[in-house]
Amino acid sequence: MTDENMSKPTTIAEKVDMMAMVALFPALTVMIFLRRKLGYRFLDPMKIFVMTVLIIVFPSLNSGYRTNYGTASNLPYIFAVGMFCFAMFQRRLRWNDIKKGVRWHSRSRGISWFSALLPFNDSIVRRFVDPAVCAVIGCLVPSPLGHYLILSAFCLFVFEAWDFDQMISRTLDTLDSLIDSEVQAENVDYYYKGNKQSRSLEETAGIPTGIAPDIELQIQGRKSQKLDADLYSGV
């Protein structure tokens, strides 16, 4: 890594991405129970193993943990072992699906168990219902597992909000690329006919065509010539 890259400040977008990736670790531990058909690669064994170890080790660092919480002190261990086993079981199911040729994305966030029970679309259920259910269960379960579930609910909400924004951005990028192609084709036709005035933003779907019509005309003319050449060459 060069000195220039090391001194480059982290952008807000990069910080948000890092926060979402950190939030995914505890969020994944509850998604395993809240979702079905989680993708094979989304069920990352390393993330699951790290969280299993943390959930088991952290309570043990407190010498008065068992004294303060009594039988409830065993709940984090039960949760951690159950989470790990169920995650590996789901991952094995997805691997079997892959071998059978079942079409399912390996990074799928899964389908909430509540999607079939509530009159909301999947996005709303994943972003709001699942975190809310996890938080409510956390309030009902004795500490400290309850505290962890509340934290995980918040992390799930953060991750799903980030993931939804990423999905919207990818969809809009695809739509914008289609609009770019359409406007580009219209520009070629427009300037190829000898028009020298720039097209208005209303005509180009909000895409500026340049502040110099003569240069724009040359650009579009060269592009049209290339298209003709490609057509005759059979490319």
**What residues make up the domain containing 35?**
9-165
Nearest-10 crossing angle of helices 145-192, 12-34: 120
Answer yes or no: is 101 within a domain: yes
Average pLDDT over every residue of 121-144: 93
Does the residue 171 lie in any domain? no
What pLDDT shows up at residue 225? 61
Domain boundary (110, 137, 165) is at 165
Amino acid at 91: R
* Mean pLDDT calculated for residue range 185-199: 71
> E strands, the chain, where?
35-36, 111-112
Residue 230, number of CB atoms within 10 A of its CB: 10
Domain count, the chain: 2
Give the mean pLDDT of 199-215.
71
Tokens of 68: 């303060």
Q: Note whether 75 and 26 are same-domain residues.
A: yes
* Domain contains 228: yes
- Shared domain for 70 and 122, answered yes or no, is yes
**Confidence (pLDDT) at 1:** 47
Position 232 confidence tier, pLDDT thresholds 50, 70, 90: low
How much is the mean pLDDT over the chain?
A: 85
The four Cα atoms 215, 217, 220, 221 give a dihedral, to 10 degrees, of -110
Establish if 94 belongs to a structural domain: yes
The answer, yes or no, to whether residue 3 has pLDDT greater than 70, is no
Co-location of 151 and 191 in the same domain: no
| Domain match, 151 and 187 both | no
Q: Do 123 and 70 share a structural domain?
A: yes
Average pLDDT of the residues in 4-25 = 83
31 against 212, higher pLDDT? 31
pTM of structure: 0.80
Q: Does residue 2 sit within a domain?
A: no
How far apart, in Å, are the Cα atoms of 146 and each of 104, 131, 140?
33, 13, 7
Indicate whether 63 belongs to any domain: yes
Domain boundary among 138, 165, 192: 165
What is the mean predicted confidence (pLDDT) over 25-45? Answer: 96
- Given this model, what pLDDT does residue 12 score? 86
- 212: Cα within 13 Å, side-chain hemisphere: 5
Give the end of a domain, one of 129, 146, 165.
165
The confidence score (pLDDT) of residue 10 equals 79
Q: How far apart are CA 200 and CA 223, in angstroms?
A: 20
If asked whether residues 112 and 205 sit together in one domain, one would say no
User: Which pLDDT belongs to residue 34?
Assistant: 97
> 67 and 149 in one domain?
yes
SS3 112: strand
Residue 6 has pLDDT above 80, yes or no: no
Same domain (yes/no): 104, 48: yes
* Pair 82, 149 in one domain: yes
Q: Is residue 40's pLDDT more than 70?
A: yes
Whether 153 and 80 share a structural domain? yes
Please check the confidence at residue 111 and state whether its pLDDT lies above 60. yes
Do 199 and 87 reside in the same domain of the chain? Answer: no
Residues 214 and 114 in one domain: no
